[in-house]
Amino acid sequence: MRTAARLGPRLVTAAATALALLLTGCSGDSGDDDGKITLQFQSLAWQKESVDANKALVKEWNATHPDVKVEYVQGSWDSVHDQLLTSFEGGEAPDIIHDASDDLADFAYGGYLADIGDLLPARLKSDIPKRSWETTTFGGKVYGVPFLQEPRVLIANAKWLKKSGVRIPTPEKPWSWEEFRAVTKELGDGTDGKYGVAWPLKEPVSATLNLSLSTGGKMFHRGADGKVDVRFDEADEIMPRTVHDQVDNDKSASGTTLGMGGSDTLPGFFGGKYAMVPLGFSYRQQIVQQAPKGFDWQVLPAPAGAEGLAQGVSPQTLSVSEDSPHKKEAAEFIDFFLQPDNMVKLARGDWMLPTGTEALKDPALRTKKDDWAAGTALAEDLRPAPAQSVRGYPEWKDKVATPALQEYYSGAIGLDELRKRLVKDGNLVLARYQR
Amino acid sequence: MRTKKTTRAAQYAALAAYLVFLAFPFLWLISTAFKPARELGSLHPTWIPKDPTLENFRQAFDEQPLLQAAGNSLIAALSASLIAVVIATPMAYVMARHRNRVSKAATGWVVISQAFPFVLIIIPLFLILKNLHLINSLLGLIMVYVVWSLPFALWMLVGYVRAVPAELEEAAAVDGASKVRTFVSVVAPLLAPGIVATAMFAFITAWNEFFFALVLLKTPEKQTLPVILNRFIGTEGVADLGPLAAAAFLATIPSLVIFAIIQKRITGGMLAGAVKA
């Protein structure tokens, strides 16, 4: 006992010293104290080419702007919402934030993002079309710069299509939804395990809403009082009905892929089970990497309706944190980062399309190699995803629309039941957010 | 006799099936890590890669600071498990041996605290660490891991302490040993397997933890392995599968090595407690 009593103060001193050493050794950066501005830029780039392009641009900026240093911080798509929310609440958010436009509404309404409408130069404002700005504009204020986007396209087994003799669609003369259904029937009806199309609809809501824009389907309607209600009119029915009929009536679409993600369908596509797979434009990278040697594939436009090739997208965005003390400098960095040449580099790194009209003219994005030209031709038809600024949309999507559409596509429920759930149950959800 | 043999055979079959079930994801991970990109997209995947390659490993190391992240994870997990055990062992002893209202309330609180979801505590925690200038700091993360694993560590150790017969301590007291001496020389050796198991739990919890590390650590030099592994996943859940599998396979190696070492220690601890020195 006496020994313990004698050791006590020594132990406390030793522990305090160790703690102090640890604190000095491990504590976080305190930031620059030389009067220079340091901006944190959190990027979500994840593919090597894209990360390299991002880092190279940051390096270039730092070399030419000695008074405003940009620090590259790596984030990840998988967890960005939770990570940003915590950072905003804790007052530690990065100055410049990379995200997607469908994630911005909550942060914008929560007061976490700065209105950068007046900080951006005229060059950038006019370079990006109005329809793209709509994806980041809420209540007349601009909360981000949309810079990369991707259309959903049909990636097809070119040899199979050629052999079948079906008409190959082009952006000028795409398939209508009826023609698309007829073509898939001709390409394969499940006999010998071969199908005309494989719909990867693990996340069926955004695919349905975005592709339904081509037929004039909007589903979300904003009234004069600003309140939004869900409707499921004739125009909204065409795309989901086509998929349902392909799976359940024609057997031209594989039922097993309905629960899959896009990547999961690729082995079957390469193995000759499906003639076509509707995927995001950036999936071309995986196809280039993974397809067997000599596999002949091509990009086709998604089917068109009364509104032509229109479809919804949620572009990648760059925003500025409301808490940032250097908003002007952050906007200057965004302007530099999104110069047309830089936008091309970023687009190629992510295998996506730039929003900027100057960048879209670049020959590197109009080449036939890897079917860049086929996607670039669709850029003008891209519109804001219908639910972009609808409060309560995430809950409607998860609790109402996802299960309802999954059941409809698999044939478990009919169109009337689908309508009832999307509209009746859906409006109950939205009403809670619009009181 | 025949029934007994049949039962034993069925037990072994069930055990074998369970082991195969447990091993499947790990074996598949190894297989994927050595497959070239074109084999990953095959409709008829094979266990043994037809054309094995180290390209995924090269790419994983090339793209992300894996070694640095593994070092950070190791520092965080080892420190957290060590500190948690050092704090929890005497606490568990007191709670197990002195059963009163306070210790019962403490046990209740420990159980309840396990029910708190991460998202509930992350923002207050973030603010506290910010005020202590411990954001983007491994020390801050270690403190979080200690606090996070302490309740369960305590709970585990209380059970181990209760399993040690109180008569041994009484005998030590009769021999003239002080409380501290009794704890160090008699109880602690008998608790060794429990302490090691608890340390293992704390280590694995910290080694695998993702969310706190993601939120609290910003710069790549400080980030841990789970955060770095997450970077191989892109939009809409699309993953850079080959490099991800290679990096994930490497991430399991330290845990396996530590398990192998600790497993021997558990056996050693059990034997050490059986004989009076």
Q: What residues have CB less than 8 Å from A48, skipping those under 6 apart?
A: B59, B62, B63
Q: pLDDT averaged over chain B?
A: 86
Say yes or no: A76 contacts chain B, CB-CB below 8 A: yes
Q: What is the pLDDT of residues A358-397, one digit of tens each?
A: 999 999 999 999 999 999 999 999 999 988 778 888 889 9
Average pLDDT of the segment spanning A319-328: 97
Q: Residue A382 forms beta bridges with which residues?
A: A311
Would you state the pLDDT for residue B201? Answer: 87
Q: Using the predicted structure, report yes or no on whether residue A20 has a pLDDT greater than 50.
A: no
Q: pLDDT averaged over chain A?
A: 90
Rounded to the nearest angstrom, the minimum Cα separation between B104 and chain A is 27
Complex ipTM over 0.85: no
Would you state the pLDDT for residue A54? Answer: 96
Q: A267, B236: Cβ pair inside 8 Å?
A: no
Q: Which of A40, A46, A88, A266 to mutate to test the interface with B (most CBs of B within 10 A)?
A: A46
Rounded to the nearest angstrom, the minimum Cα separation between B220 and chain A is 7
Three state DSSP letters for chain B? CHHHHHHHHHHHHHHHHHHHHHHHHHHHHHHHHCCCHHHHCCCCCCCCCCCCCCHHHHHHHHHCCHHHHHHHHHHHHHHHHHHHHHHHHHHHHHHHHCCCHHHHHHHHHHHHHCCCCHHHHHHHHHHHHHHCCCCCCHHHHHHHHHHHHHHHHHHHHHHHHHHCCHHHHHHHHHCCCCHHHHHHHHHHHHHHHHHHHHHHHHHHHHHHCCHHHHHHCCCCCCCCHHHHHHCCECHHHCECHHHHHHHHHHHHHHHHHHHHHHHHHHHHHHHHCCCCC
Q: Which residues of A touch B222 (CB under 8 A)?
A: 28
Contact A311, A381 (CB under 8 A): yes
Q: Using the predicted structure, report yes or no on whether residue A31 has a pLDDT greater than 70.
A: no
**Measured distance CA(A198)–CA(A273) in Å, rounded:** 9
The proportion of chain A whose per-residue pLDDT surpasses 90, expressed as a percent, equals: 79
Contact B125, B194 (CB under 8 A): no
Would you state the pLDDT for residue B266? Answer: 62
Nearest to B237 among A22, A100, A261 (CB): A261
Q: Using the predicted structure, report yes or no on whether residue B236 has a pLDDT greater than 90.
A: no
Residues 285-304 of chain A whose Cβ lies under 8 A from any Cβ of chain B = 286, 289-293
Nearest to A47 among B43, B227, B234 (CB): B234
Laid out side by side, the sheet with A152-157 consists of: A195-197, A274-280, A152-157, A297-301
**Measured distance CA(B186)–CA(B189) in Å, rounded:** 6
Average pLDDT of the segment spanning B162-178: 87
**Residue keyed to tokens 């305090």:** A16
Rounded to the nearest angstrom, the minimum Cα separation between A122 and chain B is 30
Exposed/middle/buried for residue A435 (C-beta within 10 Å: 0-12, 13-18, 19+): exposed
Least confident of A1-5, A398-402, B239-243: A1-5
Would you state the pLDDT for residue B1? Answer: 58
Q: Which of A7, A78, A82, A260 to mutate to test the interface with B (most CBs of B within 10 A)?
A: A78
Q: What is the pLDDT of residues B118-154, one digit of tens each?
A: 777 888 888 889 889 998 899 999 999 998 888 889 8
State pTM to two decimals: 0.83
Average pLDDT of the segment spanning A266-291: 95
What is residue A216's DSSP assignment?
Answer: T
Q: Using the predicted structure, report yes or no on whether residue A14 has a pLDDT greater than 50.
A: no
If pLDDT is split at 50, 70 and 90, which confidence band does A404 have?
very high
If pLDDT is split at 50, 70 and 90, which confidence band does A420 have?
very high
Q: Using the predicted structure, report yes or no on whether residue A273 has a pLDDT greater than 90.
A: yes
Q: What residues have CB less than 8 Å from A402, skipping those under 6 apart?
A: A203, A204, A205
Average pLDDT of the segment spanning B219-236: 87
Nearest to B235 among A77, A90, A290 (CB): A77
If pLDDT is split at 50, 70 and 90, which confidence band does B2 have?
low
Q: What is the dihedral of CA A180, A183, A185, A191, to 10 degrees?
A: -130
Q: B236, A48: Cβ pair inside 8 Å?
A: no
Average pLDDT of the segment spanning B245-259: 88
Contact B208, B118 (CB under 8 A): no
Would you state the pLDDT for residue B110? Answer: 77
Q: Residue A156 forms beta bridges with which residues?
A: A276, A298
Would you state the pLDDT for residue A359? Answer: 97
Average pLDDT of the segment spanning A179-207: 95
If pLDDT is split at 50, 70 and 90, which confidence band does A353 have?
very high
A63 versus B181: the higher-pLDDT residue is A63
Report CA A137 to chain centroid distance, whole Å: 17
**Single-letter amino acid code for the residue at B8:** R
Q: Minimal CA–CA distance to A333: which of A28, A51, A94?
A: A94
C-alpha separations of B15 from B19, B21, B22 in Å: 6, 10, 10
Would you state the pLDDT for residue A377? Answer: 96
Q: B41, A47: Cβ pair inside 8 Å?
A: no
Q: Using the predicted structure, report yes or no on whether residue A17 has a pLDDT greater than 50.
A: no
Least confident of A158-167, A390-399, B87-96, B102-111: B102-111
C-alpha separations of A65 from A34, A37, A61, A68, A97 in Å: 15, 10, 6, 6, 20
Q: What is the pLDDT of residues B35-84, one digit of tens each?
A: 998 898 888 888 999 999 999 999 999 988 999 999 999 999 999 999 99
Helix (H) or strand (E) holding A142: strand A141-142
Would you state the pLDDT for residue A46? Answer: 87
Q: A76, B219: Cβ pair inside 8 Å?
A: no
In terms of CA atoms, which chain A residue is nearest residue B132? Answer: A27
Average pLDDT of the segment spanning A210-233: 93
Q: What residues have CB less than 8 Å from A243, skipping those under 6 apart?
A: A199, A201, A253, A409
If pLDDT is split at 50, 70 and 90, which confidence band does B264 have?
low
Average pLDDT of the segment spanning A112-138: 96
Nearest to B219 among A73, A92, A261 (CB): A73
Q: A78, B180: Cβ pair inside 8 Å?
A: no
Least confident of A75-89, A315-329, B138-152: A75-89
Q: What is the pLDDT of residues A228-256, one digit of tens each?
A: 999 999 999 999 999 999 999 999 999 99
